[in-house]
Amino acid sequence: MTDATEPFIDERTAFDSYLRSEKQLSPRTQESYARDLKKFFAYCQHHNITQFDQINAQSVRQNLAQLHRAGLSGKSLRRWLSSLRAFFRFAIRRGWLKYNPAEDLQAPKIEKKLPKVLDADQASQFVELSGDNFLDRRDRALLELIYSSGLRLAEVAGLNIQDIDLQDALVVVTGKGSKTRTLPVGKQAIAALRQWLAVRTQAVSADEQALFITARGRRISHRAIQLRLQQLSQRQSMDNPVHPHMLRHSFASHMLESSGDLRLVQELLGHANISTTQVYTHLDFQHLAKVYDQAHPRAQRKKSGD
């Protein structure tokens, strides 16, 4: 419940109603706005800012710097600024403000984190599951297919039987924006899929078209796949838990490392913009730099001297 001493309570209530009724945002998004705005109004309360004409770019900038010093990430700060801009635009329409004090402010740049990947040996160690029961076959086919074709979690979970062509070793996936793409499937994945399809009929429900199902015969969920990979990470003695996107990242990195063709990797991953794919050039460079440091005699001498 909002503390009565906090400023702009009525205005915040009106904004909440606007987000819910007119914008029809999800409860989760509304909560995100509320958390961001609460940070700013706590700042206002601390500095005795109780009227809109007391809010200016300087006060927003000071709060931004304060949150940055407190350790809020660049991504969170950008979202915080976006929430403030939305609230101030609403305030302008209501006549409470004459201009948007957050409009020209910029959050610190977001540091791009390189995705974690497995090297080729680690990837093989993870996907080569032993065992011949129902779940063993399903999990082996699931892992092999993700790594073989670089699929997203949602893409592999959404696959239907008719999306796989074992004869021509192809899979049709539906990616972001409902865009479909046809991808090659490696021979190891095809072999694993054949083994899986031979036992899938034992549990599948009559009307279920999903390629990957649970022991109860229904489509496996995103969360179930994530949890299963965590369990398999321990079973396969991996150093760290492996999640579905790590297999996708590993596929991309290994393809780029072998082919050097960034456009090819972009097409395979289904990236709309090649700038999204370019992160893997940094991964490839890191790999080359690591090999150089290990192999080059001058690099070794420098390292031992240090």
Residue 46 annotated in active site: no
Helix (H, G, I), strand (E, B) or coil at 219: strand
Q: Are 196 and 137 in contact (CB under 8 A)?
A: yes
Q: Is residue 175 part of a domain?
A: yes
Say which CATH number the domain at 88 has.
Answer: 1.10.150
Distance CA 189, CA 49 (A): 63
pLDDT computed for residue 306 by the predictor: 39
Q: Are 244 and 156 in contact (CB under 8 A)?
A: yes
Residue 271 annotated in active site: yes
Q: Is residue 3 part of a domain?
A: no
pLDDT computed for residue 126 by the predictor: 94
Say which CATH number the domain at 154 has.
Answer: 1.10.443.10
Rounded to two decimals, the pTM is 0.57
Q: Domain span at residue 163?
A: 120-294
Beta bridge partners of 183: 171
Q: Are 77 and 60 in contact (CB under 8 A)?
A: no
Catalytic residue among 38, 61, 243, 245: 245
Q: Is residue 60 part of a domain?
A: yes
Q: Is residue 114 part of a domain?
A: no
Same domain, 145 and 256: yes
Bridge pairing between strands 170-174 and 164-165:
antiparallel
Catalytic residue among 140, 152, 200, 228: 152
pLDDT computed for residue 103 by the predictor: 87
Beta bridge partners of 171: 164, 183
pLDDT computed for residue 151 by the predictor: 92
Same domain, 39 and 156: no
Same domain, 84 and 227: no
pLDDT computed for residue 72 by the predictor: 83
Same domain, 126 and 233: yes
pLDDT computed for residue 116 by the predictor: 80
As for how many domains the chain has, the answer is 2
pLDDT computed for residue 218 by the predictor: 94
Which residue stretches of the chain have pLDDT < 70? 1-5, 109-115, 272, 274-306
Same domain, 245 and 140: yes
Residue 89 annotated in active site: no
Catalytic residue among 39, 248, 249, 254: 248
Residue 287 annotated in active site: no
Q: Is residue 254 part of a domain?
A: yes
Catalytic residue among 38, 89, 222, 271: 271
Concatenating the DSSP letter of every residue in 154-209 gives: HHHHT-BGGGEETTTTEEEEE-GGG-EEEEE--HHHHHHHHHHHHHHTTT--TT--
Catalytic residue among 20, 116, 176, 282: 176
